[in-house]
Structure 1
Amino acid sequence: MSKLLDFKSRLYRRLVYGLVAMTMVLGIGVTTAQPSHAGWLDLIFQGVRVYQLSNMSNEQEVDLGRGINNQLVNSRQIRLYRNESLNTYVNDIGQRLAAVSDRPGIPYTFQIVQDSSVNAFATMGGYVYVTTGLMAAADNEAELASVIGHEIGHISGRHAVEQMRQAAITQGITGALGVNRDRLINIGAQVALQLPASRSAEYEADRQGFDTLGRAGYDQAAMVAFMKKLVRQGSPPEFLSTHPDARNRVTQLQQNLNESALPQATAGMSETAYSSNIAPLR
């Protein structure tokens, strides 16, 4: 009988010690887990965070875009061009396009960046930027509208959100959207200025921009003409230098033009009217 009790006592102690040891191991794993280690526990938590980022609401995206815009401006990563009449002109073009875009249900903000380079970019939440250099390079309003339409296409496709999601995984974001808002804003600013869009995203933005241009009444031939002109100049500008090859994009846009069902879209082709509207840049 005593031997049986002794055996039960030893078995009980082993079970208790085993449970304690397992608890300590799990406790250490939870408290020391880092995203860069990519352990199974990290991946579970990271998957939740990535899911939350990929499925943010329109309100969250607009709020984050506002924060990214403030970061770009306040840190002087960009310098806004403050001429009131010219900003009103660009905003009017942008709002005309946004209203017939594939994503008209968010507020859009269109701004001019004081920069002689031929460039345009967008960030999440409806923020679009065009440089003074690009405006000067365009020959008419339809050409300028074609670039703005392309950037709206990036917003419609939520391409900046996807870029941020990928960057967040790479950089090991450790919390949900609200917890790390400041860090996400920093990543968003980096995405807006430095990270090129993917091949598929550029084609999608071209297609959506082309369609939006026609629905707004602008001559879609201007989009093809402007890109052809920039490619012929030699080294493509920044917004054309990302994947895919700019010449292939021109070819695809020419095909879109040949198949377009909007021959009545002919607005914005007057060079004289455009020159008058951007007179402050001269």
Structure 2
Amino acid sequence: MNNRSFSRLIHHLSFRQRWLLPCLSAIVALTIWATSYAQPANAQRGLVDLIFRGIQVIQLSSLSDRQEVTLGGQINQQLLSSEFRLLNEPNITRYVDRIGQRLVPYSERPNIPYRFQVVRNNQVNAFATMGGYVYVTSGLLAKAANEAELASVLGHEMGHIVGRHAVNQMKQQAIEAGLASAAGLDRNTAVRIGVELALNRPGSRRDEFEADRLGLFSLTRAGYAASAMPAFMQNLVSSRSVPNFLSTHPATPDRIRTLNQLIAQNNLAGSAGLDNAAYQSAVRSRLTSQR
């Protein structure tokens, strides 16, 4: 067909028929694009299917700070509704939060909201989940000798959040279990894995040493005594019963040795928080009434 014949044909088409031509062209182009990029198309189709089923999907590899905080909040809500009971002692809660908030500006990730909570449990333990949620047990508060030792624990747990260790571990577990699709990981599954990680966090040597280092520098920048972190660890391993959470972590003597090396190499000092009597008044005496 020559150009004149084609123009005559277009002239005789109705308005609706002429309007359809560019749409058909677009459909053909999209078909070619979809054929060339089959894998992304499958991922998009999977995402659309999940959305229509009412499931929220997240991409852990590109999780923003806001998304991490939201997900951490949902994990926290699940932990507190089914696993833990918070200590009902406002003065202790405020005291622990004040120490934690003192560390926040000196962390390498100060722009997310941190929440420090005390769990009513006699075991010596501390843990964190993504998005700024840090937990210490009443048993750990009773074991610490002073405020600086408690601050060293909070700093370590903040180090896990700064390093996004829970996010990385969640991604790894989801992939290994075959739970992450091309579209991502549905939020309910992410919350479930997050709860499991908070309860039984793998003691990755790299993660623990990084959290120690990050926590130590936050601790000393805030003015607390650097010596408190290795001192508290030494206190724990020297006790008759080593806390369960240390048994799943790298060898504590190695961590103590590394911390002392960091302190010496960087001339870290600080002197705040070593008053045992003040800590006794602020925490230990109040804990007795909660037992």
**Is the CA contact 1:126–1:152 (under 8 Å) kept in the aligned structure 2?**
yes
CA distance in 2, matches of 1:136, 1:146: 15
Match of 1:65 in 2: 72
Is contact 1:121-1:239 (8 Å) kept?
Answer: no
- Counterpart AA for 1:80: L
Is the partner of 1:213 in helix, strand or coil?
helix
How far apart in 2 are the matches of 1:174 and 1:260? 42
Distance in 1 (CA, whole Å) between partners of 2:203 and 2:174 is: 16
Give the counterpart of 1:114 among 114, 120, 141. Answer: 120
CA shift, 1:235, in A, is 4.5
Cα offset, 1:234, TM superposition: 4.5
**Aligned mates of 2:117, 2:195 — CA distance in 1:** 15
SS at structure 2 position matched to 1:79: coil
In 1, Cα distance between the equivalents of 2:108 and 2:267? 17
> For residue 78 of structure 1, what is the aligned residue in structure 2?
84
Written as runs of structure 1 = structure 2, the 5 A alignment for 1:37-186 is 52-75=59-82, 77-175=83-181, 176=183, 180-186=186-192
Take 1:101 and 1:65, find their aligned partners in 2: how far apart are those partners? 19
Measured in 2, the distance between the counterparts of 1:64 and 1:98 equals 20
SS at match of 1:268: coil
Aligned-partner residue type, residue 84 of structure 1 = P
In 1, are the aligned partners of 2:58 and 2:186 still within 8 Å (CA)? no
Instruction: Tell me the TM-score normalised to structure 1 length.
Output: 0.79
Deviations for 1:92-150, whole angstroms, at most 9, x for unmatched residues? 00011112101101000000011111100000000000000000000000000000000
Once residues 224 and 174 of structure 1 are traced to their aligned partners in structure 2, the CA distance between those partners, rounded to angstroms, is: 39
1:261, 1:254 → 2: CA distance? 10
Equivalent position SS for 2:124: coil
Could you tell me which residue of structure 1 aligns to residue 272 of structure 2? 267
Rounded to whole Å, the distance in 2 between the matches of 1:243 and 1:118 is: 14
| CA distance in 2: counterparts of 1:242 and 1:252, whole angstroms | 18
Aligned residue identity for 1:53: L
Please give the secondary structure, in 2, of the residue aligned with 1:93: helix
CA distance in 2, matches of 1:245, 1:98: 28
* Equivalent position of 1:258 in the other structure: 264
Distance, in Å, in 2 between the alignment partners of 1:262 and 1:252 is: 13
Q: How many Å separate the matches in 2 of 1:113 and 1:74?
A: 12
Query: What's the CA shift string for 1:136-170, capped at 9, x where partnerless?
Result: 00000000000000000000000000110011112
Q: Deviations over 1:219-271 (max 9, x none)?
A: 010111110111111443233223321111111111122223333x1000000
CA shift at 1:51, angstroms? 9.6
User: Which amino acid in structure 1 is aligned with residue 139 of structure 2?
Assistant: G
Q: Which secondary structure does the structure 1 equivalent of 2:106 belong to?
A: coil
Q: Which runs of 5+ in 2 are unaligned?
A: 1-38, 48-56
Q: Is the 8 A contact 1:236 1:246 kept in 2?
A: no
Q: Which 5+ residue runs of structure 1 have no aligned equivalent?
A: 1-40
Could you tell me which of 192, 204, 211 is aligned with 2:210?
204
1:35 maps to none
1:194 positional shift: 1.1
Root-mean-square deviation (Å): 2.4
Match of 2:195 among 189, 213, 218: 189
Q: How does 1:197-236 map to 2 (within 5 A)?
A: 197-236=203-242
The amino acid across from 1:237 in the alignment is P
Q: Residue 30 of structure 1 corresponds to which residue in structure 2? A: none
* SS of corresponding position for 1:145: helix
What TM-score do the two structures reach when normalised by structure 2? Answer: 0.77
2: CA distance, partners of 1:235 / 1:260:
33
Quote the residue 1:245 is aligned against: 251
